[in-house]
Amino acid sequence: MTPEPRNIPELLRQRADAAPDKIFLFSEADKREFSYREFETAVARTAGMLFAKGIRKGDVVSLLLPNSVEYIVAYFACWQLGALAGPVNGHLKSQEIAYVVSNSESKLMLVSSEFAAKVEGFDVPREVFDDVRQVEGGFKKDKTDEITAEDEAIIIYTSGTTGKPKGCLLTHGNVIANARQISQWLGFTENDRLLTIMPLFHMNAVSVTTMSALYAGGSTVVSQKFSASRFWQIISDYQVTSFGSVATMLSMLLSTYPDGVPAGLKTDQLRFAMCGSAPVPAEVLRRFEETFHCLVVEGYGLSESTCRSTFNPPDERRRPGSCGLPIGNEMRVVDEDDDEVPDGELGEIVLRGENILKGYFKNDAATAAAFRNGWFHTGDIGYRDTDGFYFIVDRKSDMIIRGGENIYPREIDEVLYQHPQIASAAVIGIVDELYGEDVAAVVVLKPDAKVSEAEVIEFCKARLADYKCPKTIRFVDDIPKGPTGKLLKRELAQMFR
């Protein structure tokens, strides 16, 4: 039996030795293919280039690239040297990128040509990295220090909803542990081919569809970005068995293909969709499974847990509305005093395990605040049922407090999604002179639908306590969301000012 690898380069070497000619990585954009051995060679060449630029163990290399073979190679090249990969969100503005690069103390930026203008004038050296085939040379493994499971592999910045983004430090051990947990829980094997369509500057794409495929000895297909019109063609062409997604993608596929998968495409090999980042409205989940005959397996996690902490079982035990069961880490629901609450009662979700981050980069205060009494405090509100399944109700910080009553936006979202004329919706709290906060909703109607603000409010009143019902509705063409499907609360709030 192959021993558990001590670091990520060792994991890659094990897989390349076991099946050197098996295709590990497919590039959907330009049809390139890399066997395990070819991928390992490309990583070694890129690591050699980074070494020649002065990168050593413990240095940070910022990665500002589109989803591509090059992005995945760049991650592994950093790890080959014991350096930290620092993925940067390509949607950020120049000043936001500057903060991440500066705060992480990056030594070098690997940048694609399309993003080069965003980093003009930066003090940090940069290297344009558009095509790994143009990189010369190689890297001898004996040039690097021994890399342990405790050594840092990734510095990834949180979205900063409560202030400046924080750099999460994830170790080689964290990344391997989460890949193992996901792969084993979902039953991935060397026959699985996963679709990496989520952005590689987030851990979802890194952990769920790249590292898990590697751990299982399977394959991954990297696609530049999600396109509803091309999605099922990609699933068919590459015989994808599972893909990572967010609720927004599932809704878009339903809108684009109301009658199901187009005729002539082969999708019977598709086992399930993995969905995370934000809960899937129950109505969207039901319709997606009925329309496309594809199970949706919801999970929960965050950058601080490398990615996934829970998943539903990928079978009949799966519970719609639940984020599932812990897949390897410990999980509890606690009150304000950190005492565990009874099943069915709301509290804060706390985590402990080998996939939980080492800490926040040079931010002892934030690390201490998050790790209390030996547990990582997520800031998410949820409960556990009597069978051990977990349910996430809302972010602690998203809770609306109206006249002393706690209101969780997701409960109202679920009701709005049941309205036959509503395509998507989002609920937030807005300032109210009398109650402190009140409930407001942003709604996107289905094509040609006509419904008034009063009608939507009455629909809610028939299903919710009056104090929970939206007092104001804004009809919009699109709801602002980040690249992982999370609501941009600040932009939503501005609509009501």
pLDDT of res. 69: 98
Starting from the edge strand earliest in sequence, which strands make up the sheet with 84-87, in order? 126-128, 108-111, 60-64, 84-87, 152-157, 167-171, 359-360
> What pLDDT shows up at residue 218?
98
Comparing CA positions, the residue from 341, 343, 339 lying closest to residue 372 is 339
Band (pLDDT 50/70/90 cuts) for residue 144 is very low
Lowest pLDDT segment from 126-130, 148-152, 347-351, 411-415: 411-415
Other beta carbons within 10 Å of 461: 14
Confidence band, pLDDT 50/70/90 cuts, at residue 159: low
Whole-number Å distance between alpha carbons of 47 and 203:
21
Determine contact, residues 65/129, Cβ cutoff 8 Å: yes
- 247 or 155, which is more confident? 155
**pLDDT tens digits, one per residue of 426-460:** 999 998 877 778 999 999 999 999 999 999 999 99
Q: In the structure encoding, which two tokens stand for residue 340, read together? A: 């565990």
Cα 415 → chain centroid: 25
Strands 325-326 and 472-475: unpaired
Q: Where are the beta strands (DSSP E) in 340-477?
A: 347-352, 359-360, 371-372, 375-384, 390-395, 400-402, 405-407, 422-432, 436-445, 472-475
Tell me the three state secondary structure of residue 276.
coil
Q: How far apart are CA 66 and CA 87, in angstroms?
A: 11
Q: What is the pLDDT of residue 161?
A: 45
Q: What is the pTM of this model?
A: 0.85
Higher per-residue pLDDT: 266 or 482? 266
Q: Which of 30, 110, 118, 112 is nearest to 76 (CA)?
A: 110
Are 300 and 306 a contacting pair, CB within 8 Å?
Answer: no
CA distance 250 to 288: 7
